[in-house]
């Protein structure tokens, strides 16, 4: 019966919760996580069932619209994705302006903002949200592929309207005739799975960022461009790059897995076991279990012998019985295996976090939309506990 806001106004009470570990910022019906039991559900559907039966595009529609699409709805969404795949020719000028070694995440974020300069007036058009979502999801894929081509100084490859979402992305990246590639379906399926497993994860750092930006009524594209920035960091989406770099460093440096583990336990070393630990999962990350199995299957099918996978397996094996990791409930997260699969598929490390961003786009859209519908939503405006100097007197320049 206590009205917290009135109490706060009276007492000036502020809860200090660094990293918002225990602060609920909204009510949401998109994704359910039980971190103790390792449960993840999108709109009530267990991630294991979606991984077995669904595709990334269908799952995206589910997240954005709250139910599985019927055939007509899915067909219409697919048509919209195809229609929106090309970028305006004028966009090529923007790509030309980036240095060849520009990080693809920087290009992605900038280009999503560029999209908002040409096609989004800052308002939510309820009638258009399906089209707006399809446009963003589709163009992001083309931008990602172009940023990769640009980094190699290679010509852009136009999207092929005959190809579906994932195959079209691989086509624009590599120009390989994926339909004829011996392992094409395996590669397409694996990327579908990776994108789907990344599609949403409730109030993570980047989704919270999208919500914070969107809470000011900023448009969908501006909000999602900010999400890309948040995702980039190595403690979040950038961890998939950090995992690969760590595995390479361990392998090339001739370090044993036990030595790497000892280093990660030493707080002075500044070294963390990348791909381990999670703010919410304190048992296991169900996405990591699915990807671990997929990694074995894909590498086997593609005939890839990757010594880094052996390093990864050894690290996991030792960490699972090491008291430091067991006591702190540090288990492999989704990024631990996704990088190994993408590497086996020939996707360069620089693109890993970009692919995560493509996958997370439906989640960001779903949360932005949900927030716009939520009458209880207010502009995000955390408070602070001030610890700076008390009032001071301005000192003229010649007396400092
Ligand atoms: N290696 C070694 N020690 C670790 C690790 C790790 N990967 N992760 C956490 N710890 C330790 C911390 O030092 C801390 O120890 P202490 O209790 O002795 O001080 C304890 O475990 C708890 O960790 P916190 O940092 O408080 O956990 P938090 O919830 O703040 O951070 C995070 C979670 C960022 C994921 C962290 O575990 C981490 O940095 N992991 C490596 C990076 C990574 O894989 N990120 C991907 C996250 S998943 C995703 O974004 C898709």
Q: Per-residue pLDDT tens for 121-152?
A: 555 555 688 889 999 999 999 999 999 998 88
For ligand 1, is residue 276 a contact (CB within 6 Å)?
yes
Rounded to the nearest 5 percent, the helix, strand and coil shares of the chain are 60, 5, 40
233-292, pLDDT tens digit by residue?
989 999 889 899 999 999 999 999 999 999 999 999 989 999 999 888 888 899 999 998
Residue with CA nearest ligand 1 atom 26: 279
How many Å apart are CA 263 and CA 286, to the nearest integer? 27
Q: What's the confidence (pLDDT) of residue 368? A: 96
- DSSP letters, 339-353, are HHHHHHTT--GGGHH
Residue of 277, 326, 355 to test ligand 1 pocket, by largest number of atoms within 8 Å of CB: 277
Length of the chain: 400
Q: Which atom of ligand 1 is nearest to the CA of 264?
A: 2
Q: Which of these, 344, 48, 338, lies nearest to 186 by C-alpha position?
A: 344
Note the pTM of the prediction, 2 decimals: 0.90
Q: What's the confidence (pLDDT) of residue 244? A: 92
Residue pointed to by tokens 């070294």: 271
Residue with CA nearest ligand 1 atom 20: 328
If you average pLDDT over residues 51-62, what whole number do you get?
98
**Is 168 in contact with 159 (CB distance < 8 Å)?**
yes
User: Taking each helix axis from N to C terminus, what angle separates 352-373 and 129-151, rounded to the nearest 10 degrees?
Assistant: 160
**Is 104 in contact with 151 (CB distance < 8 Å)?**
yes
Residue with CA nearest ligand 1 atom 28: 279
How many Å apart are CA 86 and CA 334, to the nearest integer? 31
Q: How far is the CA of 263 from the centre of ligand 1 (A)?
A: 14
Q: How far is the CA of 117 from the centre of ligand 1 (A)?
A: 38
290-340, pLDDT tens digit by residue?
998 998 888 888 888 888 888 988 999 999 999 999 999 998 888 888 988
For ligand 1, is residue 272 a contact (CB within 6 Å)?
yes
How many Å apart are CA 206 and CA 226, to the nearest integer? 8
- Beta-strand ranges (E) seen in the chain are 31-34, 39-42, 45-46
Residue pointed to by tokens 């979502």: 133
């Amino acid at each position: 019966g206590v009205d917290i806001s009135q109490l706060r106004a009276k007492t000036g009470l502020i809860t200090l919760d660094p990293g918002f570990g225990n602060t609920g910022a909204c009510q949401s019906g998109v994704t359910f996580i039980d971190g103790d039991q390792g449960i993840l559900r999108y709109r009530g559907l267990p991630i294991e069932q979606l991984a077995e039966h669904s595709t990334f595009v269908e799952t995206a529609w589910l997240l954005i619209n709250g139910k599985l699409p019927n055939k007509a709805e899915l067909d219409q969404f697919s048509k919209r994705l195809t229609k929106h795949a090309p970028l305006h020719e004028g966009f090529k000028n923007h790509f030309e302006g980036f240095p060849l070694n520009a990080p693809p995440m920087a290009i992605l974020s900038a280009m999503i903002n560029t999209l908002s300069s040409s096609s989004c007036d800052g308002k939510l058009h309820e009638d258009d949200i399906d089209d707006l979502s399809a446009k963003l999801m589709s163009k992001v894929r083309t931008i990602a592929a172009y940023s990769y081509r640009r980094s190699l100084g290679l010509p852009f490859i136009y999207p092929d309207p005959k190809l579906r979402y994932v195959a079209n992305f691989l086509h624009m990246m590599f120009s390989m005739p994926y339909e004829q590639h011996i392992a094409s379906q395996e590669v397409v399926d694996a990327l579908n799975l990776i994108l789907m497993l990344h599609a949403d994860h409730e109030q993570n750092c980047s989704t919270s960022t999208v919500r914070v930006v969107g809470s000011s009524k900023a448009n969908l594209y501006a909000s999602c461009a900010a999400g890309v920035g948040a995702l980039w960091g190595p403690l979040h989406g950038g961890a998939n790059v950090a995992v690969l770099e760590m595995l390479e460093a361990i392998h090339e440096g001739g370090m044993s897995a036990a030595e790497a583990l000892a280093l990660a336990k030493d707080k002075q070393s500044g070294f963390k076991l990348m791909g381990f630990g999670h703010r919410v999962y304190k048992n296991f990350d169900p996405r990591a279990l699915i990807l671990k199995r997929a990694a074995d299957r894909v590498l086997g099918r593609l005939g890839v012998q990757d010594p880094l996978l052996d390093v990864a397996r050894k690290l996991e094996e030792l960490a699972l019985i090491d008291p430091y990791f067991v006591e702190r409930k540090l288990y492999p997260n989704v990024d631990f295996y996704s990088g190994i699969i993408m590497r086996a598929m020939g996707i360069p490390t620089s693109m890993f976090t970009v692919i995560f961003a493509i996958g997370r786009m439906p989640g960001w859209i779903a949360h932005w939309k949900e927030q716009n519908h939520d009458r209880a939503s207010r502009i995000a405006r955390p408070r602070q506990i001030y610890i700076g100097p008390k009032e001071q007197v301005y000192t003229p320049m010649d007396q400092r």
